[in-house]
Amino acid sequence: MVLWPLAQRIMPEAARRPQGGGTRRLDDEAVFASVLYVLVSDSPWRAVPHTFGTSWQTAHRRFRQLCDAGLWEQLERTAGAPGTPPPLRYWATAVRRAAAARNGSRPGAPAPPL
């Protein structure tokens, strides 16, 4: 995946559970890919294919966490650095715009579909 090497460096740290336990966290790259699938295809969250190895609920929850952490804006800034190939800048901008639309951060945006 083209954007993963950029995103990997700026992904927020996973929250630590003080009590321990719980289920093991899914692979960040697989969840990131499932989130990008929904953003780029404009599919509903429930349409995340099982081939990603993640549920739509996990993809949606991580999407919200990534939005709260400002990952999409950071990704676009990172891709805008000198020497970055134009197609990479294009995809980073397209994903940031799709994330903003899904997150409802544009005026008058409807609630994101589940």
Rounded distance between C-alpha atoms, residue 62 and residue 53, angstroms? 14
Range of the domain at 56: 26-103
Residue 10 lies in a domain: no
Predicted confidence (pLDDT) at residue 29 exceeds the cutoff of 70 = yes
pLDDT at 86: 92
User: What is the torsion angle, in degrees rounded to the nearest 10, for the CA atoms of residue 108, residue 95, residue 93 and residue 65?
Assistant: 80
State residue 18's pLDDT score: 73
Within-domain flag for 20: no
Domain count, the chain: 1
Q: Is residue 113 part of a domain?
A: no
To the nearest 10 degrees (0 to 180), the angle between helices 86-103 and 28-41 is 80
pLDDT digits (tens, 9 = 90+) for 36-60: 999 999 999 999 999 999 999 999 9
Instruction: Name the CA radius of gyration of the chain, rounded.
Output: 14
CA 108 to each of CA 21, 76, 112: distance values in angstroms, whole numbers, following the listed order: 41, 23, 12
Whether residue 9 is contained in a domain is answered as: no
Is 8 within the bounds of a domain?
Answer: no
3-state secondary structure of 69: coil
Domain-located, residue 79: yes
Half-sphere exposure of 28 (CA within 13 A, CB side): 15
Amino acid at 63: F
Name residue 105's amino acid: S
- 14 assigned to some structural domain: no
pTM of the full predicted structure?
0.82
91 inside domain: yes
**Under a CB-based contact definition with an 8 Å cutoff, are residues 103 and 39 in contact?**
no
